[in-house]
Structure 1
Amino acid sequence: MSSQSSLSDRFKRSSQSIQTPSNHSMFKGHHATVGCPVCHRIMVPRVITYSGQPTKSICPFCGATFARFPSGFQKLLSRFQGPRLTTVILNKLFIITLSFSFLWLVSDQISASGQLSLIAFFGVVLFGTTLLAEILFQSIEYLAERFSHDSKHYWALIVMLSITTMYLRDDMTGYIGVFFLVVILRGLIVGTIQLLSSSR
């Protein structure tokens, strides 16, 4: 009888030793349940879908939104924006501007066609302005990160100052408009470069 009990105890210990590592390895570092930020109850979020695409997850108890999932357009936009603090874009813009400057200089030296010189001139103006706008953008992002602030507040302050300046000084409206056009142009060019770089 004692031998049978010892065998059964040995079998239980061996089965526990086999099951325990697998359970720990399966759930190690993962939480099957989370706390709701609204009702503070422990729950498993329920995923809401629209046309087969997940849009958000909610708490099954109070219905509060727990997390939102980005749409396809938002994912494309995130690829279009890319990382904010990076010198890769600055280097590319500098190389492109330098290349157009060299082409402009060479076309003037060899007395090439006026069309080639005009293309080089517009390339220098376009990418040179974009390079300056990118330096400004990166500087603002660097300051925001240095002081642990949200860069949106900095841009909101710039917009408010611009609106106030246009209200007080009518002659500055054109310059401020050109400034924001350059910022938008910088976003389009840098976003296109980021999109082409990420698609490779």
Structure 2
Amino acid sequence: MKFPGGLQRLIQSFQANGLSFVAFRWLTLVTLGLSLLWIVSAWTKLPANIFLFAVFGTLAFGLMALAELFVQCLERLAVRFSHQSNYYWGVLVGIAFVTANLRHELTIYLILFSLAMLARWFIVGSVRAMNNSRSLSD
């Protein structure tokens, strides 16, 4: 019998057991809260630090919410057609490479999208890992 190592267990705890829009709802709720803070801070002239925190937080969490929606839609599409999602991800990476080679001005946007996907994976994985550890301790 083979037992997974520490790094493999950490990565497995970050991966989803099933498809769920819970993380998307959480990211959207945080984005809406920060955008409300942005509007209130612009309207009532709150300190500039709060305004900048709200602006950058809204943009960052909004991008991660869109990335989570993209991931969930792609995964649901793969399940719907009874395919493995690895093929879909491979095609998207291939499209990104071709696009980066043909249109050099779009490369920065592809890099930003990749960073948003990595940040989304880390945040959603952390939330799932915390939920898994709570359910195991109960």
Fold-level match, TM-score > 0.5? yes
Which TM-score applies when normalising by structure 1? 0.63
Relative contact order higher in (CA < 8 Å, ≥ 6 apart): 2
Deviations 1:16-67 (A, max 9, x none): xxxxxxxxxxxxxxxxxxxxxxxxxxxxxxx4xxxxxxxx3xxxxxxxxxxx
Question: Residue 84 of structure 1 contacts residue 138 of structure 1 at CA under 8 Å; is this kept in 2?
Answer: no
Which among 151, 155, 162 is matched to residue 89 of structure 2? 155
Aligned identity (percent) is 39
Q: Which residue of 2 aligns with 1:190?
A: 124
Amino acid at match of 2:125: G
Cα displacement (A) at 1:84: 4.8
Q: What's the secondary structure of 2:130's corresponding residue? A: helix
Cα displacement (A) at 1:71: 2.0
Structure 2 spans left out of the alignment, 5+ residues: none
Amino acid at match of 2:68: E
Q: Which residue of 2 aligns with 1:177?
A: 111
Are 1:94 and 2:28 counterparts? yes
Which among 60, 68, 73 is matched to residue 126 of structure 1? 60
**In structure 1, how many angstroms separate the alpha carbons of the residues matched to 2:92 and 2:18?**
18
Q: What's the secondary structure of 2:116's corresponding residue? A: helix
Amino acid at match of 1:163: F
Are 1:141 and 2:83 counterparts? no
Question: Residue 79 of structure 1 contacts residue 198 of structure 1 at CA under 8 Å; is this kept in 2?
Answer: yes
Q: What's the secondary structure of 1:199's corresponding residue? A: helix
The 3 A distance-change label for structure 1 pair 89 and 73 is same
Question: Residue 93 of structure 1 contacts residue 130 of structure 1 at CA under 8 Å; is this kept in 2?
Answer: yes
Q: Larger % of strand: which?
A: 1
Amino acid at match of 1:131: A
Are 1:111 and 2:45 counterparts? yes
Question: Residue 93 of structure 1 contacts residue 131 of structure 1 at CA under 8 Å; is this kept in 2?
Answer: yes
Cα displacement (A) at 1:165: 1.5
**In structure 1, how many angstroms separate the alpha carbons of the residues matched to 2:122 and 2:106?**
25
- Specify the structure having the higher radius of gyration (Cα): 1
Task: Count residues in correspondence.
Answer: 134
Which TM-score applies when normalising by structure 2? 0.88
